[in-house]
Amino acid sequence: MGDSSIPDWMKQWQALSQQSLNAWSDAARGATPGGAGMPGAGFEQWARAFTPAAAAGPAGTVDRLVDGAKAYVAFMQSLIAAGANAPNGIPSWSDALRQAFAAPGGNALFEHPLAQMWKGAPNGGFAGMPNPFGAMPPPADLGDMKSWLKLPAFGFLREHQEHQQKGAVAFVEYQEQVARYNAQMLEAARRGFELFEGKLAEREQPGRQIESLRALYDLWVDAAEEAYAEIALSREFQEIYGELTNAQMRLRAQIQQEVERLSVDLGMPTRSELNSIGERLQALRREVRAQRGGDALIDEIAGLRGEFEALKAAVKSSRAPVTREVPARTVIVEPVVAKSEKARHAKARKTPAPAKATPPVRAKRRAKAERAERAVAAVAPGNFASRIAKFADASLGSGRRKERPPADKADAGKRKKKKR
């Protein structure tokens, strides 16, 4: 094909493509001192140049950025290249897209940069722990291998052999589930392209057409996510995902058991032992808390403390001198007097005293005292003593409480006396 067959815009395209490669190389040279700047390798060099800077930001961001940008640029380049190779010089974007995605179906779909993540999908989610056997190719005939691995073991080391066989079976079963999961992901990719074509068809009217590569990419993402959601929300996926996760865990458990056996042989502490200690420790903490009365009692104490503080504050704010002069504890104290003297006092009390006019200062004090009592009653309307008793019940138990009634009774009697 001679130069005359190439339209002008195509020549410009080729010139710009060369400019693109040069730009990559320039960027790479600028980023990497002494970088060779090989065409096509610019991105890799550029990415490597980020390595020291990666520590400045959150780990992985630069890698993510580079990976995402690489995929996107690859997407753009594949479309541009497909357009450039259009036979009649007019780019057919739909054909270019099909080529770019190798769609519909086929393994090439998985090889496209944008579809690469589907391949990595088994490493995502609950099912996706780092796979210790990730680098190993799956056996060709898993079913056949399983039957061999289930052969009975004999002799002195039969237990060891059996464990190893179980581990190998767990691995084979895990690979089976990975294959099922991959099939789901491939289906998601295929369905994604179907939806993508549908979304493109909706954009045929003038004014709704896609005018940039970015808009095209965003549309593809919408379609891909929609397709993935269809699959990921299905009952079939639920079953496959669960089985994959469980297979992964069985495999890990087998590996852990082998490590434990080895640790025991070497006299090392094992995960089981640590778990056992941790479990006992937490149980002990709960027991201690329960013996201290549990959270309910602690709540009760805290509540009573709060109530007590409120009462103190109320009494203080009333500024009643009576409450300061006659605090509750003073009620307990009774002066020791001789019997004869007591009788004399009692006689004196029986004799009615002549009526006296209440001095104004004393009346004022009494009024203040009454106000203070009302304030106290407002804060804890008559239930303080009962809550204290409840608290004592809970904290001391009825047996111990029984040992203390005399003191309580004495207190009550003394309070009565004081009132009189």
Partner 1 sequence: MGPIKIEPTKALDEALTTQRKLAVALDTLRKVDDVDFGVTAKEEIYREDKLVVYRFRGDRPPTAKVPILIVYALVNRPYMVDLQDDKSLVKNLLARGEDVYLIDWGYPDGADRWLTLDDYINGYIARSVDAVARRARVKKINLLGICQGGAFSLCFAAMHPHKVQNLITMVTPVDFQTPENMLSNWVQRMDVDLFVDTLGNVPADLMNLCYLMLKPVRLNQQKYIGLVDILDDKVEMENFLRMEKWIFDSPDQAGEAFRQFIKDFYQGNKLVKGGLRIGEREVSLANITMPVLNVFAEQDHLVPPSASRVLGEHVGTKDYTQIAFRGGHIGIYVSGRAQREVPSAIHDWLAQRAGP
CA contacts within 13 A on the Cβ side of 175:
19
Stretch that binds partner 1, among 100-108, 175-183, 240-248, 370-378 (CB under 8 A): 240-248
Per-residue binding letters, 190-229, with partner 1 (x by CB under 8 A): ----------xxxxxxx-xxxxxxx-xxx--x--xx--xx
DSSP character string of 133-187: TTTSPPPS-HHHHHHHHTSPP-STTHHHHHHHHHHHHHHHHHHHHHHHHHHHHHH
Applying CB under 8 A, does 271 fall inside the site for partner 1?
Answer: yes
d(CA 141, CA 191): 29
Measured from the CB atom, is 101 or 118 closer to partner 1? 118
284 is a contact residue toward partner 1 (CB under 8 A): no
- Per CB under 8 A, 376 contacts partner 1: no
> What are the φ and ψ backbone dihedral angles of 128, each rounded to 5 degrees?
-110, 75
263 touches partner 1 by CB under 8 A = no
Closest by CA to 128, choosing from 204, 45, 62, 185, is: 185
Q: How many residues bind partner 1 (CB under 8 A)?
A: 105
Distances (CA, A) of 8 to 3, 14, 83, 90, 96: 10, 10, 14, 12, 20
Which of 6, 41, 48, 80: binder of partner 1 (CB under 8 A)?
Answer: 80
**Which residues, 323 to 362, sit near partner 1 by CB under 8 A?**
none
Distance from C-alpha of 309 to C-alpha of 294, rounded to nearest angstrom: 23
CA distance 18 to 356: 120
Nearer to partner 1, 129 or 388 (CB): 129
Among 50, 110, 384, 391, binds partner 1 (CB under 8 A): 50
Minimum CB–partner distance for residue 156 and partner 1 (Å): 30
| Residue placing its CB nearer to partner 1 in the complex, 161 or 246 | 246
User: Closer CB to partner 1, residue 261 or residue 401?
Assistant: 261
304 binds partner 1 (CB under 8 A): no
Cα–Cα distance for residue pair 240/177, rounded to 1 Å: 7
Q: What is the closest distance, in whole angstroms, from the C-beta atom of residue 21 to partner 1 in the complex?
A: 10
Alpha carbon 155 to chain centroid distance?
Answer: 48
> 80 and 17 in contact (C-beta within 8 Å)?
yes
Residue 391 near partner 1 by CB under 8 A: no
Q: Which is nearer to partner 1, 215 or 396 (CB)?
A: 215
Beta carbon nearer to partner 1, 57 or 321: 57
Residues 87-146 that bind partner 1 (CB under 8 A): 91-94, 114, 117-118, 121, 123-126, 128-129
